Amino acid sequence: MLSWSTQNAELFRDTNTASVLLRDAPEGDYTVEAKLRFAPAQGNQQAGILLYENDDRYFKLAHSALPLSRGDGAVLRTSEFAKEGERPTTTPPVSDANGAMFGGPAAETMWLRLSYHHDTANDESEVRAATSGDGEHWVRNGVWTLPAKDPLRIGLFSMNTAGAVAGFDYVRTYRH
């Protein structure tokens, strides 16, 4: 198991201070899965997996603690699927961080999956997220896309607010 304390750092637009643990992804289509033990107690703590090209182009699936407005420190634990990349419809393309899609319920122990597909017709990286509370029954989330550029790498993160510890039991990759 990898135990990784959350750091007072993040990956968001121009604030690229968080550490990311990376490894190469296989060629072709694949799914990456991780078993995560995480009990965030403060707002903005998050840990999870990502498919990462660089600090400004990635797909992220996190167990996140979102602060509740007027909640006196209470947080909402949720699974959060987001991406960051350029908006290709502007000239020149500008950086764009899309709001998260929220998926299945978050639990202290949960499984996270990101499935990668290269859409050759549109030359896009297409990524679907899924979460599970038992490693067998999965709740699928939406799909994010970015124009395909450099190869994506598989990554882990534990960030945004110090004070919690993420435990990654395993990270597995399945080829399609």
Q: Is 137 helix (H, G, I), strand (E, B) or coil?
A: coil
Q: Give the H/E segment covering residue 164.
A: none
pLDDT in tens for each of the 176 residues of the chain?
A: 999 999 998 887 777 878 899 999 999 999 999 999 999 989 999 999 999 999 889 999 999 998 888 878 788 899 999 999 876 666 666 666 667 888 878 999 999 999 999 999 999 999 999 999 999 999 998 999 999 999 999 999 999 999 999 999 999 999 98
Q: Distance between terminal CA atoms of the chain?
A: 26
Domains of the chain: 2-175 (2.60.120.200)
- Give the number of other Cβ atoms within 10 Å of residue 63's Cβ: 26
Region label for 41, one of left (φ > 0), alpha (ψ between -120 and 50) or beta (otherwise): alpha
Look up the pTM and report it: 0.91
For 142, the token pair is 């939406």
For 69, the token pair is 């407005």
